[in-house]
Amino acid sequence: MEFARRTRADLSRLLMEHQFGVDEVLTKVTILREEFLHLRRYNPIEHVTSRVKSPESLVRKMVRRNVAPSVDAIREHITDIAGVRITCSFIDDTYRVLEALVSQDDVRVIQVKDYIANPKPNGYKSIHAIVEVPVFLSTGAVPVVVEIQIRTIAMDFWASLEHKIHYKFDGDVPDHLAESLSDAAMIAEQLDHRMENLHREVHGEHRADEPDVPADFDEDMIVRMWQMMRESGAN
């Protein structure tokens, strides 16, 4: 019983520290948004969400990965207890925000996986950065690992749909739906490039090396889709 109580108390403190880690990252993101908006008159960040795993979710992951019920083992083997997701307007913005965050002196980069440049086989795109930030408690500074995901509106819209479909079918997605998801990922990519090209044209930054967009890819439809996804994310 004593071991169980101590373990529960340790997990509770661990989750508290990770919530503080999320708060630290969110503060950094808020400052960046204000700086971009007021000094550069442009905000590359559309919206931000965050979460810390529940005790039940954390325990399930520990069991799946055969992680010992100790704080040290959890810290070493589970890096997504705390998560922050940043949704940007355009592809270039994702890299701009990533650079602004990881270049800060108190942010230690553990790992970066660029699924935008190298998408997953199913079409998933995002930047995943595992970083460590200091959380200052009454007992001193505690290093906390936070997973940061950065993606565009189109990528976020696709990932949300893919997650819901996989959840509904418990991971065993029918072939025709998997194929449709793959097609949708291609459309989302075309949408990203087209919207970024339109943005550059408006601001006099048109690039001749933009990827070709199919002739039947209607521009008005693209704008409507983009606006719909912005509204969906805001809600």
Q: Provide the annotated active-site residues.
A: 147
Q: DSSP strand E in 53-163: where?
A: 82-88, 108-114, 127-137, 140-152
Scored b (16 or more CB within 10 A) or e, 108-117 reads: eeeeeebbbe
For CA atoms 219, 125, 89, 204, the dihedral sign is negative
- Tell me which residue of 117, 128, 54 sits closest to 86, measured CA to CA: 128
d(CA 30, CA 155) in angstroms, rounded, equals: 22
Which stretches within 169-218 are classed as H helix? 175-202
